[in-house]
Amino acid sequence: MVLKKATTTTKAPVKKVTPKKVAAAATKKKVAVKKVAPKKAVTVATKKKTPVKKAPVKKAIVSNNKSKIAAYKTKKGEKYMSAAMKKHFVAVLLLWREHLTDEMQKTFDHLKTKGETYADPMDRASQEEEFAFELRTRDRERKLINKIGISVEKVKQDDYGWCDSCGDEIGVKRLEARPTATHCIHCKTLDEIKERQLNG
């Protein structure tokens, strides 16, 4: 009689899953979906741009203080250097001269109040350098005040606005940029070219 060996198969132990664990896993997936959904909604909401109101930009004050008077606009058929045009440029020149004299007075007051002597040579040197720079600037402005005075006299003599070299019109735009101009743009360009050639 032949005995059959009993074959036993070993199975891997199966993990028992309780209904509580299945429910917890399902809720985690649902929670994850719920967390993703609001993020998408937020990104869509942020893509919409709301119009932003810009603050008005303040214009910088020009150093010669001519910015207080608006630029002259010529009328149709208006004669060059009419009475209104002369009046405008006289006002510009006088305002500019007043501003420069105020700056000169401020410099003199500054030199008086800050005129103390320092014990440290470095401090004394830096103070003298500052004073020298201010005095150079004021010297240029003093020469400019003389030019303004000459321009005002030219207005009174009806010579203002005409080129000293060729006798042609200087132009309103050039006079707005430089009220003390005595040459038209063509003559001034030629003078600058000659100066460059002479100086190398």
Entry pTM:
0.60
- Overall average pLDDT of the 129-144 stretch: 90
Domains and CATH numbers, the chain: 79-160 (1.20.120.910), 161-200 (no CATH)
8 Å CB contact between 89 and 155: yes
Tell whether the model's pLDDT for residue 164 goes beyond 70: yes
pLDDT tens, residue by residue, 49-107: 555 555 444 433 334 455 578 888 888 888 999 999 999 999 999 999 999 999 989 88
Tell me which of 144 and 131 has the higher pLDDT.
144
List phi, psi (to 5°) of 28. -60, -45
Tell whether the model's pLDDT for residue 169 goes beyond 90: yes
List phi, psi (to 5°) of 195. -60, -40
8 Å CB contact between 170 and 184: yes
CA 49 to each of CA 38, 39, 41: distance values in angstroms, whole numbers, following the listed order: 19, 18, 15
Which pLDDT score is estimated for 159?
A: 92
